């Protein structure tokens, strides 16, 4: 069965995501796109988040891609928000029901090639950009 959320064949997206995380943690030349990998995967799999959580992830993706903010800058923003109690919403989904009803995307994680770090980072970027473009059309 294809993934009901991103449309990946045989629902291989989760397996691939887990493999990518291991790769990113063990090899820093792959790890530089870690923020994009996580954020993009989350935007495509909204059942893991609350509505606010999903909007927040999409905002993060926008920050990374459009505003070109570094993960360090974002981490500081998040920390400031948490410290000041600004983020009051819950990230995690309570019921596991997708908060968006999109099931087809221009690119999925299955299109990312891993043969070397250069190709990998370029493909993660392309996947993230395409996903943001798709996600920008969603109103929830
Ligand atoms: Zn999926």
What does the angle CA 98 – CA 104 – CA 110 come to, to the nearest 5 degrees? Answer: 100
Environment of ion ligand 1 (residues, CB < 5 A) = 3, 5-6, 8, 13
Distance (Å) from CA 15 to ligand 1 centroid: 10
pTM > 0.75: yes or no: yes
pLDDT tens digits, 60-107: 999 999 988 887 888 888 778 777 777 777 888 999 999 999 989 999
Q: Supply 51's token pair.
A: 């509505």
30 CA to centre of own chain: 16
């Amino acid at each position: 069965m294809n993934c009901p959320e991103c449309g990946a064949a045989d629902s291989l997206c989760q397996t691939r995501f887990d493999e990518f995380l291991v790769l990113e943690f063990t090899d820093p030349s792959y790890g530089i796109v870690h923020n994009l990998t996580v954020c993009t995967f989350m935007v495509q799999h909204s059942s893991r988040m609350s509505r606010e959580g999903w909007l927040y992830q999409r905002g993060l993706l926008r920050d990374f891609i459009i505003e070109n903010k570094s993960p360090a800058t974002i981490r500081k923003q998040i920390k400031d928000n948490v410290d000041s109690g600004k983020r009051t919403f819950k990230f995690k989904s309570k019921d596991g029901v997708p908060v968006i009803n999109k099931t087809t995307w221009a690119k999925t994680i299955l299109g990312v090639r891993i043969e070397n770090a250069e190709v990998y980072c370029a493909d993660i970027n392309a996947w993230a950009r395409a996903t943001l473009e798709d996600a920008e059309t969603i109103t929830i």
